[in-house]
Amino acid sequence: MRQLTLFLLIICCWIYATELLENGNFVKTYDSEARALGWDGAYQRINDGNEIFARCLKQEGMHYCEAASIPFDVVPKTPFVFKGEHRGGAGVVFAFFKLSDGSNKPVQLYISGKPEWSEFQVEDLIPENAVSCSLLLRTFNSQRAADFRNISFDGTLPVFEGVKGGVEMLRNGSFEQIGGFESEAAFFRGVYERTTEQAKGGKYSVKCLAGRSYCEAGSYPFEVAPGTPFEVSGWYYGAAPTIYAFFTVPGEDSVAINISKHESEGRWSRFRLAGTVPEGAVKCQVLLRNWSSKQPIYFDEVHFSGIRPTIPEASVAGIKILLPESPAAALKTAQKELVHYLGKVVSGGIVCGNSRIAQIVLEEDESLSEEAWSIASANDTLFLRGGSPRGVLYATYHFLEDCLEIHWWNPWEESVPPAKEWRFKSLSLAGKPFFASRDIYRSRAMISEDSGRFAARSRMNRNGDIKISAEYGGSRTFG
């Protein structure tokens, strides 16, 4: 019955099948004639002028010899056919499936020794929860070599749709937004070049060429939810890349999950790295790396799909005020200030263009300098950002003062307009203080004991002899 079900599945689904293994005929070389591109292990690539194949012969001190393909992505519970040709000593071939929980599940076939080339074939269903597969061609014989050629793996081509219920968490993975210079991509750093030489989508990609041990483009860190699934996917062109998801776990070493791919051979190729965010991880950084100093790699259309962390929120006047997970004290203050004053001046909502603001997001932006700030509306969301917690607080006070016409004349007196509906064509403001140190020096007796609230509202970063508390952004010290 199982064979009949498998047969019907293959008949019904095989219209979608395609070759998932690259260089199964061992024609393409890696760094020497004896190495095949996309294959690893203690084998030898043989080219005798008439045919090309992989030869496995167990060496002294080893348990076996094998050629192993670089892992490729698969679709769980779909049919596959793994086939090829073999001659020489007896061997065993594996389709080695990596499961989503990190365990492995092999499907294997033992092959008897034969003097002439003969075909082998394995047909089955890809295991449930399988994410990738590696093919292993193995012999345990130290007296007689086992040769393999024309290896193929026919299966269903995966479609990268991201994590179910997940959202895009990587900024500017298309590299279209400019950083500080034309050659820099916003929200990325490293020894790379933003270029128009190659592009999968849009106009730009990033180019990595190792000047020393490696070259990489690294994203700015973003917050993640521990124990949730994630997927990094994208396109590359050129040399063999390594793609990393680097997770920050407070008090411990960073946890790196990575995947290596082979050269793209003159065309754009997909990559996909999937897994689970490690327990205790709070942030992630995506690294796109090239180890070659001779051949560049171009990366484009890079995505990180994951589950956004639970965000502490408060609501006022029909607007949610959202904080990142584990917010700094100054961001909590910014939320409190917004709740306090929006409740006084907003009646009927805040409208930007054709969209009514439903949420205000308070977050740090590492592309900004420490005290720089920005205010930007996007559809139903208003973003208040800063290069540090103090910068986010400054964005909040600029929004309250410059947009909602609230003013603080001294530590005790303020001007607050009557409640109404506020309408703006759009909101896009940014800036930073002109002076690095800002202070009106007064004695302790002259300064109100407000923990630095009026100093922060006035965008001062020093408060005479009294320190500004962390909840108002802290103090700048000197001397």
User: Predicted confidence band at 229 (pLDDT cuts at 50, 70, 90)?
Assistant: very high
pLDDT at 13 > cutoff 70: no
User: Predicted confidence band at 334 (pLDDT cuts at 50, 70, 90)?
Assistant: very high
> Picking from 27-36, 48-57, 408-417, which range would have the lowest pLDDT averaged per residue?
27-36
* pLDDT confidence of residue 17: 64
CA atoms within 13 A on the CB side of 169: 28
pLDDT at 442 > cutoff 80: no
Backbone angles phi and psi of 446, in degrees to 5: -90, -15
225 φψ region: left (φ > 0), alpha (ψ -120 to 50), beta (else): beta
pLDDT at 196 > cutoff 90: yes
Torsion on CA atoms 32, 35, 36, 41, rounded to nearest 10: -160
List the domains of the chain with CATH numbers: 2-156 (2.60.120.260), 167-306 (2.60.120.260), 313-472 (3.30.379)
> Picking from 9-13, 75-79, 170-174, 448-452, which range would have the lowest pLDDT averaged per residue?
9-13
Strands 407-408 and 381-386: unpaired
Residue with tokens 């900024």: 171
Give the pair of three-digit tokens for residue 393. Answer: 């607080």
> Quick check: 358 and 315 in contact, CB under 8 A?
no
Mean pLDDT of 166-193: 88
> Quick check: 368 and 386 in contact, CB under 8 A?
yes
Give the pair of three-digit tokens for residue 20. Answer: 């998932």
User: Predicted confidence band at 6 (pLDDT cuts at 50, 70, 90)?
Assistant: very low
Residue with tokens 């484009």: 300
pLDDT at 214 > cutoff 60: yes
* pLDDT confidence of residue 15: 43
- The more confidently predicted of residues 161 and 337 is 337
Closest Cα partner for 153 from 227, 266, 75, 87? Answer: 75
> Picking from 125-129, 139-143, 300-304, which range would have the lowest pLDDT averaged per residue?
139-143
pTM of the model: 0.52
Torsion on CA atoms 162, 269, 28, 19, rounded to nearest 10: 60
pLDDT at 7 > cutoff 60: no
Mean pLDDT of 25-52: 88
Mean pLDDT of 325-353: 91
pLDDT at 12 > cutoff 50: no
* pLDDT confidence of residue 311: 63
pLDDT at 322 > cutoff 80: yes
In a 3-state reduction of DSSP, which class is residue 74? coil
List, as one string, the DSSP characters of 122-153: EEEEPPTTEEEEEEEEEE--SSS-EEEEEEEE
pLDDT at 53 > cutoff 50: yes
* pLDDT confidence of residue 356: 93
